[in-house]
Structure 1
Amino acid sequence: MRAYTCDHCGHLVFFESTACVHCGAHLAFVPEWMRMAALEPHATQPNVWQPLSATHTPHLRLRMCHNRSSAGNPCNFTTDADGSQPYCVSCRQTRWLPNFANPHNLLRAHKIENAKRYLFYTLSCLQLSVLQGFTAPTFDFLEDLPGQPPVLTGHLNGIITLNVAEADDDERARRRQALFEPYRTLLGHLRHESGHFFWDALVRDTAWLQPFRALFGDERADYAQALQAHYARGPQELAGWQHQHVSAYAAAHPWEDWAETWAHYLHVMDLMETAASYRVQLRLPGHMASWPPLDNPFDTHSLPFEHILQQCVPLTLLLNSLNRSLGHNDAYPFALSTGAVAKLGFVHQVVTAHRGATGPH
């Protein structure tokens, strides 16, 4: 996520900001601009806002997303001024939220919807969102109910379901340890499940299918049996996945391998954009030469993924060292093998081809 500044006073602001702490301007994220904007109420049209800065067209009119004042989903996106869409493009993707009569669900929904907006942003940068006319997934955020089967996180026919218990830090940590995972976050979940959605959209029934099978394996293998076998294995039996996969779970089935690789690709791209926006320049200990300021991968998407990864590696070393100095575990607990890098490169090829409207070559 890139760093933003208030376009009224120039002070640093963030993706979640609703007001500038320096000048007090009302802030909102305008999806069509893919940037934060300082806004002021229109003089004569109620609930309509216009840019405060003269750098934008003075005739543009916007509305705040209807969820801006929501207790469970305080959204800072804008939507069209004509009132035809009271909710923003991100909030419109949510079909079900948990029952807010349970006060725990207010915070859960807030966390999950914020993570979904981060996902929306990255997909938009990759030209894979509704802003570019792409069909968007639908989201159901559900809670376990007494007497009902537990809610399973997953994707089916364009609908991504997430058990809202994943928003609880303690529950997420418990599941991470039980499943022998080094990394488990809300944003990571949504990125993973979006990978299943985009496998259907970008790989299935396309010229990419055969190259996919050659690299990831044949997805026609029985999925239910593969997952059952994966969960039956202990940590010792899971050893060796690092040679070809980004995670142990990726070894369960080709579909999960793609989804885990897709999520990791989004991690890397967003991490690099953040560093590039801060003009990060690194010099590793023991190396005389320093890297130039890191590239923004969304501006240089035609570069080979190996180039992006080459710039990312020293950044992850710094990130992990900073975390350790504060007494935390590694923020990036991965060491990518040649096999995993090849799969990440394939994802990059598929996405780059989509952006350039070309096929495999």
Structure 2
Amino acid sequence: MKLFECQHCGQLLYFENTRCERCGHVLGYLADRSALSALTPEGGGRWRALAFPGEEFRFCANAIHDVCNWLVLADGPDAFCRACRLNRTIPDLGVPAHLLLWQRLEAAKHRLVYGLLRLKLPVTSRFEDPGSGLVFDFLAGSSGAFQEGPQVMTGHREGVITIDIAEADDAERERHRQDMAEPFRTLLGHFRHEVGHHYWDRLVRDSVWHDAFREMFGDERANYAEALAAHYANGPRPDWQERFISGYAGSHPWEDFAETWAHYLHIVDTLETAAAFGMCVRPATGRHPVIVMEIDFDPCRQRDFDALISAWLPLTYAVNSLNHSMGQPDLYPFVLAPAVMGKLRFIHGLIHGPEVLKEYS
């Protein structure tokens, strides 16, 4: 995630900021330009962005619910922004507890869409592209605290990502994490995992990458329902740590891909944040060059996978140690075995272009 600067006063700004704390200017995000801009009112709900003074904008229609600070062209056809146009079903706002949960869901989803756009991945809604677009259904159901219908299963099916809104409740999510014996469970992680299934359909299925995928991850034609049933009945494979990023990744090639995809997005976004803060790692003791790191590149544009990993590993050593100093568990509690590195490299090539396919052929 980038950092931003108020065009009026130079104050440091963060992605979710809606008003500059120094000068008071209202702020709005321009997704197609990856810019958070200070705004001046033009009347009638129209705003002029100081970053692009030649144009006028309106806030996304979801801004009235405090779930979005993104902008659309004032004279354009869209009422909703690039992120909110992906919604097919939102929680029932007649239930008081749902608004807060939806706000948390949208905060995670907007970060997801930011990252996808930064990586120049196709982001279209099913309303724009009925054949291959993406939509989200935010539903209540699985938790007694939020139940309003049948059980809801978070997952993906043919471009439809369903998220159980109970996942936005910290206590519910932690209970699920412990029940599933997961080291890591976040809202943003859910979004990144489920969208990995969507991009498998968009980028891998029946493409030049398909054979390479099967060689790297396995044959996805293995019965999916039976594979998941076996995983939940028997637990993860005994050797999963040598071959997979997580125990769940070993359940089926589709889940392996989605888990690896999510971790690639974790890595790139965290490196971008570290670069924005000018972070470097240079231990004051020891002479091990592997844990020295400085990010002098844009992680979203870096075509050299080894450069990403050379920065990522020292950063994880440092931030995990910082967490320990606060009595917290590892921020990134995963080991990137050589087989996992190969899968991450595949994702990197998939995102950055078919010309690197030769690495997997």
TM-score, length-normalised on structure 1? 0.91
Give the aligned partner of residue 103 of structure 1. 96
For 1:21 and 1:232, how far apart are their aligned partners in 2?
A: 52
Amino acid aligned to 1:58: P
Deviation at 1:231, TM superposition (A): 0.3
Maintained 8 Å contact 2:295/2:311: no
Instruction: Output one character per residue of 1:249-277: Cα deviation in whole Å (capped at 9) or x when no partner.
Output: 00000000000000000000001111111
Counterpart secondary structure, 2:137: strand
CA RMSD of aligned residues (A): 2.0
Deviation at 1:335, TM superposition (A): 1.1
Change (3 A) 1:106 1:220: same
Number of residue pairs the alignment of both structures matches:
347
Counterpart secondary structure, 2:273: helix
Find 2:301's aligned residue among 295, 299, 302.
Answer: 299
Deviation at 1:69, TM superposition (A): 2.0
Counterpart secondary structure, 1:18: coil
For 2:258 and 2:123, how far apart are their aligned partners in 1?
A: 20
Find 2:49's aligned residue among 48, 51, 58.
Answer: 51
Maintained 8 Å contact 1:18/1:26: yes
For 1:51 and 1:75, how far apart are their aligned partners in 2?
A: 17
For 1:291 and 1:184, how far apart are their aligned partners in 2?
A: 27
For 1:230 and 1:173, how far apart are their aligned partners in 2?
A: 21
Deviation at 1:122, TM superposition (A): 0.4
Alignment of 1:37-186 (within 5 A): 37-42=37-42, 45-52=43-50, 56-70=51-65, 73-82=66-75, 84-130=77-123, 136-144=133-141, 148-186=149-187
For 1:248 and 1:213, how far apart are their aligned partners in 2?
A: 19
Maintained 8 Å contact 2:293/2:315: no
Alignment of 1:1-361 (within 5 A): 1-42=1-42, 45-52=43-50, 56-70=51-65, 73-82=66-75, 84-130=77-123, 136-144=133-141, 148-234=149-235, 238-284=237-283, 285-287=285-287, 290-300=292-302, 302-303=303-304, 305-353=305-353, 358=355, 360-361=357-358
Change (3 A) 1:148 1:26: closer
Amino acid aligned to 1:143: A
Deviation at 1:102, TM superposition (A): 1.7
For 1:216 and 1:102, how far apart are their aligned partners in 2?
A: 43
Q: Which runs of 5+ in 1 are unaligned?
A: none
Amino acid aligned to 1:203: V
Counterpart secondary structure, 2:8: coil
Maintained 8 Å contact 1:31/1:77: yes
Q: Which runs of 5+ in 2 are unaligned?
A: none
TM-score, length-normalised on structure 2? 0.91
For 1:274 and 1:5, how far apart are their aligned partners in 2?
A: 14
For 1:288 and 1:256, how far apart are their aligned partners in 2?
A: 35
Higher mean displacement: 321-330 or 204-213: 321-330
Maintained 8 Å contact 1:138/1:158: yes
Counterpart secondary structure, 1:215: helix
Higher mean displacement: 90-99 or 133-142: 133-142
Maintained 8 Å contact 1:280/1:293: yes
Deviation at 1:238, TM superposition (A): 3.9
